[in-house]
A and B are shown apart, each in its own frame.
Chain A
Protein backbone atom coordinates (compact mmCIF):
# COMPACT_ATOMS: atom_id res chain seq x y z
CA UNK A 1 0.00 0.00 0.00
CA UNK A 2 1.67 3.18 -1.17
CA UNK A 3 -0.74 5.63 0.43
CA UNK A 4 1.40 7.24 3.08
CA UNK A 5 0.98 6.63 6.74
CA UNK A 6 2.54 9.20 9.03
CA UNK A 7 5.55 6.92 9.52
CA UNK A 8 6.21 6.35 5.81
CA UNK A 9 9.86 7.18 5.09
CA UNK A 10 10.35 10.19 2.82
CA UNK A 11 13.29 9.86 0.49
CA UNK A 12 15.36 12.57 -1.17
CA UNK A 13 14.61 12.83 -4.89
CA UNK A 14 18.02 14.22 -5.84
CA UNK A 15 19.87 11.38 -4.12
CA UNK A 16 17.58 8.84 -5.77
CA UNK A 17 18.04 10.51 -9.16
CA UNK A 18 21.80 10.21 -8.73
CA UNK A 19 21.31 6.49 -8.20
CA UNK A 20 19.15 6.26 -11.36
CA UNK A 21 21.87 7.93 -13.41
CA UNK A 22 24.49 5.70 -11.79
CA UNK A 23 22.53 2.59 -12.79
CA UNK A 24 21.46 3.88 -16.21
CA UNK A 25 24.46 2.85 -18.35
CA UNK A 26 23.15 3.29 -21.92
CA UNK A 27 19.51 3.72 -20.86
CA UNK A 28 17.57 6.67 -22.24
CA UNK A 29 16.01 8.89 -19.57
CA UNK A 30 12.93 11.07 -20.09
CA UNK A 31 12.33 13.64 -17.36
CA UNK A 32 8.90 15.13 -16.84
CA UNK A 33 8.22 18.80 -16.25
CA UNK A 34 9.47 20.48 -13.09
CA UNK A 35 11.44 18.91 -10.28
CA UNK A 36 11.96 15.56 -12.05
CA UNK A 37 13.96 17.36 -14.73
CA UNK A 38 15.55 19.86 -12.35
CA UNK A 39 17.08 17.05 -10.30
CA UNK A 40 18.10 15.05 -13.37
CA UNK A 41 19.99 18.08 -14.68
CA UNK A 42 21.78 18.30 -11.32
CA UNK A 43 22.32 14.60 -10.73
CA UNK A 44 23.80 13.81 -14.10
CA UNK A 45 23.14 15.71 -17.28
CA UNK A 46 23.97 13.57 -20.30
CA UNK A 47 22.99 13.57 -24.00
CA UNK A 48 20.84 10.48 -23.44
CA UNK A 49 18.51 12.56 -21.23
CA UNK A 50 15.42 14.19 -22.72
CA UNK A 51 13.82 16.98 -20.72
CA UNK A 52 10.23 18.16 -20.98
CA UNK A 53 9.93 21.93 -20.55
CA UNK A 54 6.12 21.87 -20.76
CA UNK A 55 3.36 19.43 -21.75
CA UNK A 56 2.56 18.31 -18.19
CA UNK A 57 1.33 14.74 -18.18
CA UNK A 58 3.16 13.53 -21.27
CA UNK A 59 6.29 12.03 -19.70
CA UNK A 60 4.87 8.51 -19.76
CA UNK A 61 3.67 8.71 -23.40
CA UNK A 62 7.00 10.17 -24.55
CA UNK A 63 8.88 7.38 -22.83
CA UNK A 64 6.43 4.85 -24.26
CA UNK A 65 6.91 6.08 -27.83
CA UNK A 66 10.67 6.10 -27.37
CA UNK A 67 10.61 2.56 -25.97
CA UNK A 68 8.65 1.35 -29.02
CA UNK A 69 11.04 3.09 -31.41
CA UNK A 70 14.19 1.87 -29.61
CA UNK A 71 13.30 -1.63 -28.42
CA UNK A 72 16.93 -2.56 -27.74
CA UNK A 73 17.56 0.35 -25.34
CA UNK A 74 16.17 0.58 -21.81
CA UNK A 75 14.02 3.69 -21.34
CA UNK A 76 13.46 5.28 -17.94
CA UNK A 77 10.75 7.89 -17.30
CA UNK A 78 11.11 10.12 -14.23
CA UNK A 79 7.77 11.75 -13.58
CA UNK A 80 5.94 13.46 -10.73
CA UNK A 81 2.72 12.12 -9.29
CA UNK A 82 0.80 15.24 -10.35
CA UNK A 83 1.77 14.66 -13.96
CA UNK A 84 0.81 10.99 -13.79
CA UNK A 85 -2.56 11.90 -12.27
CA UNK A 86 -3.14 14.35 -15.13
CA UNK A 87 -2.96 11.54 -17.70
CA UNK A 88 -3.80 8.32 -15.88
CA UNK A 89 -5.05 6.85 -19.13
CA UNK A 90 -1.46 6.70 -20.35
CA UNK A 91 -0.75 3.97 -17.79
CA UNK A 92 -3.58 1.93 -19.29
CA UNK A 93 -1.96 2.32 -22.71
CA UNK A 94 1.39 1.16 -21.31
CA UNK A 95 -0.32 -1.78 -19.62
CA UNK A 96 -1.92 -2.94 -22.84
CA UNK A 97 1.07 -2.37 -25.15
CA UNK A 98 3.43 -3.69 -22.47
CA UNK A 99 6.80 -2.39 -23.76
CA UNK A 100 9.41 -4.60 -22.11
CA UNK A 101 12.12 -1.93 -22.07
CA UNK A 102 10.14 0.77 -20.23
CA UNK A 103 10.62 1.70 -16.57
CA UNK A 104 8.50 4.46 -15.04
CA UNK A 105 9.63 6.07 -11.78
CA UNK A 106 6.89 8.11 -10.11
CA UNK A 107 8.08 10.66 -7.53
CA UNK A 108 5.24 11.04 -5.04
CA UNK A 109 5.40 13.78 -2.43
CA UNK A 110 1.63 14.06 -2.50
CA UNK A 111 1.53 17.65 -3.67
CA UNK A 112 1.99 20.06 -6.53
CA UNK A 113 5.30 21.13 -5.10
CA UNK A 114 6.14 23.81 -7.68
CA UNK A 115 2.88 25.69 -7.32
CA UNK A 116 2.81 25.96 -3.54
CA UNK A 117 2.29 22.49 -2.12
CA UNK A 118 -1.38 21.90 -2.88
CA UNK A 119 -2.26 18.45 -1.56
CA UNK A 120 -3.06 15.76 -4.10
CA UNK A 121 -5.18 12.63 -3.98
CA UNK A 122 -2.10 10.50 -3.32
CA UNK A 123 -1.90 12.13 0.13
CA UNK A 124 -5.07 10.41 1.19
CA UNK A 125 -7.11 8.26 -1.13
CA UNK A 126 -5.22 7.36 -4.31
CA UNK A 127 -2.56 4.65 -4.43
CA UNK A 128 -0.68 4.90 -7.73
CA UNK A 129 0.89 1.45 -7.27
CA UNK A 130 -2.60 -0.05 -7.19
CA UNK A 131 -3.58 2.07 -10.19
CA UNK A 132 -0.56 0.79 -12.14
CA UNK A 133 -1.39 -2.82 -11.27
CA UNK A 134 -5.00 -2.22 -12.23
CA UNK A 135 -3.78 -1.01 -15.62
CA UNK A 136 -2.22 -4.41 -16.20
CA UNK A 137 1.37 -3.52 -15.33
CA UNK A 138 2.70 -6.62 -13.58
CA UNK A 139 5.94 -5.29 -12.14
CA UNK A 140 5.16 -2.54 -9.64
CA UNK A 141 7.58 -1.67 -6.85
CA UNK A 142 7.31 0.63 -3.84
CA UNK A 143 10.82 0.92 -2.40
CA UNK A 144 11.01 2.84 0.87
CA UNK A 145 14.75 3.19 1.36
CA UNK A 146 17.56 4.26 -0.92
CA UNK A 147 19.28 0.89 -1.14
CA UNK A 148 16.09 -0.93 -2.08
CA UNK A 149 15.29 1.79 -4.61
CA UNK A 150 18.63 1.36 -6.34
CA UNK A 151 18.38 -2.42 -6.44
CA UNK A 152 14.81 -2.15 -7.79
CA UNK A 153 15.99 0.18 -10.57
CA UNK A 154 18.82 -2.16 -11.50
CA UNK A 155 16.46 -5.13 -11.51
CA UNK A 156 14.02 -3.22 -13.71
CA UNK A 157 16.78 -2.40 -16.21
CA UNK A 158 17.84 -6.06 -16.33
CA UNK A 159 14.43 -7.71 -16.66
CA UNK A 160 11.45 -7.51 -19.02
CA UNK A 161 8.94 -4.83 -18.09
CA UNK A 162 7.16 -2.57 -18.16
CA UNK A 163 8.07 -1.64 -14.61
CA UNK A 164 6.61 1.05 -12.37
CA UNK A 165 8.27 2.32 -9.19
CA UNK A 166 6.17 4.50 -6.90
CA UNK A 167 8.43 6.29 -4.45
CA UNK A 168 7.36 8.45 -1.54
CA UNK A 169 9.74 11.41 -1.45
CA UNK A 170 10.15 14.54 0.62
CA UNK A 171 9.46 18.08 -0.56
CA UNK A 172 12.99 19.30 -1.14
CA UNK A 173 12.95 21.66 -4.13
CA UNK A 174 15.12 20.85 -7.14
CA UNK A 175 17.83 23.46 -7.62
CA UNK A 176 19.22 22.68 -11.09
CA UNK A 177 17.62 23.59 -14.38
CA UNK A 178 17.85 21.92 -17.79
CA UNK A 179 18.86 24.01 -20.80
CA UNK A 180 16.00 26.32 -21.80
CA UNK A 181 15.99 25.60 -25.56
CA UNK A 182 13.70 22.73 -26.68
CA UNK A 183 15.34 22.35 -30.09
CA UNK A 184 18.77 22.08 -28.51
CA UNK A 185 17.44 19.18 -26.44
CA UNK A 186 15.92 17.52 -29.49
CA UNK A 187 19.08 17.58 -31.56
CA UNK A 188 21.39 16.67 -28.71
CA UNK A 189 19.26 13.65 -27.81
CA UNK A 190 18.86 12.43 -31.39
CA UNK A 191 22.56 12.86 -32.07
CA UNK A 192 23.33 10.73 -29.02
CA UNK A 193 21.18 7.99 -30.62
CA UNK A 194 22.94 8.40 -33.94
CA UNK A 195 19.75 9.56 -35.64
CA UNK A 196 19.88 12.19 -38.35
CA UNK A 197 16.68 14.26 -38.01
CA UNK A 198 14.57 15.37 -40.94
Chain B
Protein backbone atom coordinates (compact mmCIF):
# COMPACT_ATOMS: atom_id res chain seq x y z
CA UNK B 1 0.00 0.00 0.00
CA UNK B 2 1.34 3.39 -0.95
CA UNK B 3 1.65 5.87 1.92
CA UNK B 4 1.00 8.87 -0.29
CA UNK B 5 -2.56 10.09 0.08
CA UNK B 6 -3.18 11.06 -3.54
CA UNK B 7 -2.11 7.59 -4.66
CA UNK B 8 -4.77 6.16 -2.36
CA UNK B 9 -7.30 8.71 -3.59
CA UNK B 10 -6.78 7.59 -7.21
CA UNK B 11 -7.10 3.91 -6.27
CA UNK B 12 -10.25 4.66 -4.28
CA UNK B 13 -11.69 6.49 -7.29
CA UNK B 14 -11.13 3.41 -9.46
CA UNK B 15 -12.97 1.33 -6.89
CA UNK B 16 -15.82 3.82 -6.54
CA UNK B 17 -16.33 3.55 -10.30
CA UNK B 18 -16.02 -0.25 -10.33
CA UNK B 19 -12.97 -0.07 -12.62
CA UNK B 20 -11.21 -3.41 -12.27
CA UNK B 21 -9.19 -4.09 -15.43
CA UNK B 22 -5.92 -2.16 -15.38
CA UNK B 23 -3.77 -2.15 -18.53
CA UNK B 24 -0.44 -0.50 -17.96
CA UNK B 25 2.89 0.63 -19.31
CA UNK B 26 4.48 1.97 -16.14
CA UNK B 27 6.73 4.89 -15.38
CA UNK B 28 8.26 5.78 -12.04
CA UNK B 29 5.35 8.09 -11.16
CA UNK B 30 2.75 5.41 -11.79
CA UNK B 31 4.79 2.53 -10.37
CA UNK B 32 3.68 2.78 -6.72
CA UNK B 33 0.02 3.08 -7.77
CA UNK B 34 0.37 0.01 -9.99
CA UNK B 35 2.14 -1.95 -7.25
CA UNK B 36 -0.66 -1.17 -4.82
CA UNK B 37 -3.26 -2.32 -7.33
CA UNK B 38 -1.34 -5.51 -8.09
CA UNK B 39 -1.49 -6.31 -4.38
CA UNK B 40 -5.26 -5.71 -4.29
CA UNK B 41 -7.52 -8.53 -5.51
CA UNK B 42 -10.14 -5.97 -6.61
CA UNK B 43 -7.98 -5.25 -9.66
CA UNK B 44 -6.68 -7.34 -12.55
CA UNK B 45 -3.47 -5.67 -13.72
CA UNK B 46 -2.15 -6.53 -17.18
CA UNK B 47 1.33 -5.37 -18.19
CA UNK B 48 1.37 -4.52 -21.89
CA UNK B 49 4.10 -4.72 -24.49
CA UNK B 50 2.89 -1.43 -26.03
CA UNK B 51 0.29 1.15 -25.04
CA UNK B 52 -1.89 0.56 -28.14
CA UNK B 53 -2.60 -2.98 -27.00
CA UNK B 54 -4.29 -1.61 -23.91
CA UNK B 55 -7.06 0.00 -25.93
CA UNK B 56 -7.83 -3.36 -27.53
CA UNK B 57 -7.65 -5.13 -24.18
CA UNK B 58 -9.94 -2.62 -22.47
CA UNK B 59 -12.38 -2.73 -25.39
CA UNK B 60 -12.62 -6.50 -25.07
CA UNK B 61 -13.02 -6.25 -21.32
CA UNK B 62 -15.76 -3.64 -21.65
CA UNK B 63 -17.64 -5.73 -24.21
CA UNK B 64 -17.40 -8.55 -21.67
CA UNK B 65 -18.80 -6.41 -18.86
CA UNK B 66 -15.65 -5.23 -17.04
CA UNK B 67 -14.68 -1.56 -16.81
CA UNK B 68 -11.03 -0.65 -17.20
CA UNK B 69 -8.29 1.94 -17.26
CA UNK B 70 -5.10 2.48 -19.25
CA UNK B 71 -2.13 3.74 -17.23
CA UNK B 72 0.73 5.22 -19.24
CA UNK B 73 3.36 7.88 -19.41
CA UNK B 74 2.31 10.75 -21.65
CA UNK B 75 5.05 9.95 -24.15
CA UNK B 76 3.29 6.65 -24.79
CA UNK B 77 0.15 8.41 -25.97
CA UNK B 78 1.54 8.63 -29.48
CA UNK B 79 1.53 4.85 -29.66
CA UNK B 80 -2.25 4.80 -29.19
CA UNK B 81 -3.70 7.33 -31.61
CA UNK B 82 -5.12 5.05 -34.30
CA UNK B 83 -6.59 2.79 -31.64
CA UNK B 84 -8.55 5.73 -30.25
CA UNK B 85 -9.52 6.96 -33.71
CA UNK B 86 -10.69 3.68 -35.20
CA UNK B 87 -11.76 1.64 -32.15
CA UNK B 88 -12.52 3.34 -28.83
CA UNK B 89 -14.14 6.48 -30.24
CA UNK B 90 -16.27 5.12 -33.11
CA UNK B 91 -17.41 2.13 -31.02
CA UNK B 92 -18.09 4.41 -28.02
CA UNK B 93 -16.01 2.36 -25.58
CA UNK B 94 -15.62 4.18 -22.25
CA UNK B 95 -12.52 3.76 -20.11
CA UNK B 96 -10.14 5.90 -18.08
CA UNK B 97 -6.75 7.01 -19.38
CA UNK B 98 -4.47 7.87 -16.46
CA UNK B 99 -1.52 9.79 -17.90
CA UNK B 100 1.69 10.65 -16.12
CA UNK B 101 2.79 13.99 -17.52
CA UNK B 102 6.22 14.55 -18.98
CA UNK B 103 7.91 17.60 -20.44
CA UNK B 104 6.82 20.18 -17.88
CA UNK B 105 8.15 21.30 -14.47
CA UNK B 106 11.00 19.08 -13.24
CA UNK B 107 11.69 17.66 -16.71
CA UNK B 108 15.32 16.64 -17.08
CA UNK B 109 15.29 15.05 -20.54
CA UNK B 110 14.96 17.26 -23.61
CA UNK B 111 13.48 14.50 -25.75
CA UNK B 112 10.39 14.41 -23.51
CA UNK B 113 9.49 18.06 -24.03
CA UNK B 114 8.02 18.18 -27.54
CA UNK B 115 5.85 15.14 -27.00
CA UNK B 116 4.91 16.18 -23.48
CA UNK B 117 3.76 19.61 -24.60
CA UNK B 118 1.67 18.00 -27.36
CA UNK B 119 -0.25 15.67 -25.08
CA UNK B 120 -3.22 17.91 -24.37
CA UNK B 121 -3.41 19.08 -27.99
CA UNK B 122 -3.52 15.46 -29.20
CA UNK B 123 -6.30 14.60 -26.75
CA UNK B 124 -8.21 17.74 -27.68
CA UNK B 125 -7.88 16.90 -31.38
CA UNK B 126 -9.38 13.49 -30.65
CA UNK B 127 -12.16 15.21 -28.68
CA UNK B 128 -11.19 13.35 -25.51
CA UNK B 129 -11.87 15.30 -22.32
CA UNK B 130 -8.92 15.89 -20.01
CA UNK B 131 -9.02 16.51 -16.28
CA UNK B 132 -5.79 17.67 -14.64
CA UNK B 133 -4.74 16.49 -11.20
CA UNK B 134 -2.68 19.33 -9.74
CA UNK B 135 -3.40 19.90 -6.03
CA UNK B 136 -3.19 16.92 -3.67
CA UNK B 137 -6.31 18.01 -1.80
CA UNK B 138 -8.38 17.99 -5.01
CA UNK B 139 -7.33 14.58 -6.31
CA UNK B 140 -10.05 12.58 -4.57
CA UNK B 141 -12.85 14.71 -6.04
CA UNK B 142 -11.47 15.20 -9.55
CA UNK B 143 -10.44 11.57 -9.96
CA UNK B 144 -13.76 10.16 -8.79
CA UNK B 145 -15.87 12.54 -10.88
CA UNK B 146 -13.54 12.50 -13.87
CA UNK B 147 -13.57 8.73 -14.05
CA UNK B 148 -17.34 8.67 -13.76
CA UNK B 149 -17.49 11.06 -16.70
CA UNK B 150 -16.11 8.40 -19.06
CA UNK B 151 -19.14 6.20 -18.47
CA UNK B 152 -21.56 9.11 -18.64
CA UNK B 153 -20.10 10.29 -21.96
CA UNK B 154 -19.49 6.76 -23.33
CA UNK B 155 -15.98 7.77 -24.34
CA UNK B 156 -12.48 7.51 -22.97
CA UNK B 157 -11.64 10.30 -20.53
CA UNK B 158 -8.09 11.32 -19.62
CA UNK B 159 -6.83 12.20 -16.15
CA UNK B 160 -3.41 13.82 -16.11
CA UNK B 161 -1.09 13.40 -13.13
CA UNK B 162 0.63 16.74 -13.56
CA UNK B 163 4.25 17.19 -12.61
CA UNK B 164 3.13 19.79 -10.07
CA UNK B 165 1.39 16.94 -8.29
CA UNK B 166 3.94 14.21 -8.80
CA UNK B 167 7.21 16.06 -8.78
CA UNK B 168 7.90 14.46 -12.14
CA UNK B 169 10.09 11.47 -12.67
CA UNK B 170 12.44 12.63 -9.93
CA UNK B 171 9.60 12.44 -7.44
CA UNK B 172 10.87 15.60 -5.79
CA UNK B 173 7.38 16.50 -4.65
CA UNK B 174 5.66 13.63 -2.93
CA UNK B 175 3.22 15.22 -0.53
**Does A pair with B?**
yes
Q: Is A70 an interface residue (CB 8 A)?
A: yes
Q: Is B57 an interface residue (CB 8 A)?
A: yes
Q: How many residues of A contact B (CB 8 A)?
A: 38
| Cα of A13 to Cα of B34 in the assembled complex, Å | 42
Contact A182 B53 (CB under 8 A): no
| Residue on B nearest A67 in the bound complex, by CB | B60
Type the 1/0 row for B33-56, where 1 means its CB is closer than 8 Å to any CB of A: 000000000001011111011111
Interface of A: prevailing SS: helix
Q: Which of A105-131 contact B (CB under 8 A)?
A: none
Type the 1/0 row for A182-198, where 1 means its CB is closer than 8 Å to any CB of B: 11011001100101011
Contact B44 A68 (CB under 8 A): yes
| Cα of A90 to Cα of B48 in the assembled complex, Å | 8
A53: which of B49, B52, B86, B94 is its contact (CB, 8 Å)? Answer: B86
| Cα of A156 to Cα of B42 in the assembled complex, Å | 30
Please, which residues of chain A bring their CB within 8 A of the CB of B62? 65, 69
Q: Is A84 an interface residue (CB 8 A)?
A: no
Q: Is A174 an interface residue (CB 8 A)?
A: no
Contact A55 B56 (CB under 8 A): yes
Q: How many residues of B contact A (CB 8 A)?
A: 36
Contact B86 A55 (CB under 8 A): yes
Q: Is B166 an interface residue (CB 8 A)?
A: no
Stretch at the interface among B63-71, B121-129, B135-143: B63-71
| Cα of A68 to Cα of B65 in the assembled complex, Å | 10
Q: List 14 A-B contacts (CB under 8 A).
A: A54-B82, A55-B83, A60-B56, A61-B55, A62-B59, A65-B21, A65-B66, A66-B61, A68-B44, A69-B21, A70-B64, A70-B65, A89-B53, A193-B64
* Residues in A lying within 8 Å of B, measured CB to CB: 30, 50, 52-70, 87, 89-90, 92-93, 96-97, 182-183, 185-186, 189-190, 193, 195, 197-198
